[in-house]
Chains A and B, each alone.
Chain A
């Protein structure tokens, strides 16, 4: 059983389209992180959200942490081929052990 459920598992869209990736759990997290991973490389941190209801923007990426700190979303506006990759959410609980979701594979076609 996955502690963090990500959806969709796979997303293939055209350049310029918008998309949203979801990360849901029945557990409360003290913070939640989003990572992006490209083939052959390790994940790279995009953002950390801490406060319930928090919204952070990183250029065309908008991250939101749910009010109850159990879920999060990543919205990409006007996707570009360079956004292609595996997007992972990770939640921090007691003990500082990060728990990762299964990831969303995003493919943006030009």
Chain B
């Protein structure tokens, strides 16, 4: 597709279960970001991938959160032993290069995660 694709669009899971969220970035975009957004709030940075460089994991809130990006394209965000406070919209974005000045972020529509 032409845009960033995220799946699933909605996920309801029980507390303690693991979940995987998927992001398909725009083809050719080397940078990929994951953000978390609570209801009506701003975006909380989670992790950033740029090409073959080591990812910037500085925003991951706990060791229950991990992410990988295979082949420089698709990315998966995994949350283990989910907690109710993990409920949020998880947004993925990609950009053509690492520079945000001339390479803006293109966001997917997010995955709404609800932990019951």
Q: Indicate which residue in B31, B42, B105, B110 contacts A102 across the interface (CB closer than 8 Å).
A: B42
The answer to whether B40 touches A103, judged by C-beta atoms less than 8 angstroms apart, is: yes
In the assembled complex, the CB of A93 is this many whole angstroms from the nearest CB of chain B, namely 9
User: Counting CB contacts under 8 A, is B50 at the interface?
Assistant: yes
Which chain B residues lie closer than 8 Å to A40 at the CB level?
Answer: 109
B108 within 8 A of A: yes
- A30 contacts across to B, CB distance below 8 A: 101
Cα-based distance from A96 to B110 in the complex (angstroms) = 21
Nearest chain B residue, comparing its CB with the CB of A104 = B42
A45 at the interface (CB under 8 A from B): yes
Q: Quick check: B100 and A96 within 8 Å, CB to CB?
A: yes
Count of CB-CB pairs between chains A and B under 8 Å? 66
Closest to B9 in A: A40
B interface, size bucket: 20 to 34
Cβ contacts under 8 Å, A105 to chain B? 40
Q: How far is the CA of A48 from the CA of B44 in the complex (A)?
A: 20
Give the residue of A41, A48, A98, A101 whose beta carbon is less than 8 angstroms from that of B45.
A98
A88–B42 CB distance below 8 A: yes
* Residue A55 is within 8 A (CB to CB) of chain B in the complex: no
Q: How many residues of A contact B (CB 8 A)?
A: 27
Binary per-residue interface labels of chain B (18-52) against chain A in the complex, 1 for a CB within 8 Å, 0 otherwise: 00000000000001010100001111110010100
Distance A86 CA – B43 CA, assembled complex (angstroms): 11
Bitwise, A82-109 to B at CB < 8 A (1) or not (0) is 0000101010100111111111010000
Cβ of A6 within 8 Å of any chain B Cβ, yes or no, is: yes
CA of A64 to CA of B50 in the docked complex: distance in angstroms? 30
- Is the CB–CB distance between B101 and A42 below 8 Å? no
Q: In the complex, A101 Cα to B41 Cα: how many Å?
A: 9
Within 8 A of A (CB), among B73-109: 91, 93, 98-102, 104-105, 107-109
- B residues sitting closer than 8 Å to A (CB atoms) are 4, 31, 33, 35, 40-45, 48, 50, 56, 58, 91, 93, 98-102, 104-105, 107-110
A-B contact pairs, 14 of them (CB 8 A): A33-B104, A43-B107, A86-B40, A92-B101, A96-B50, A96-B98, A96-B100, A97-B48, A98-B33, A98-B105, A100-B43, A100-B44, A101-B42, A102-B41
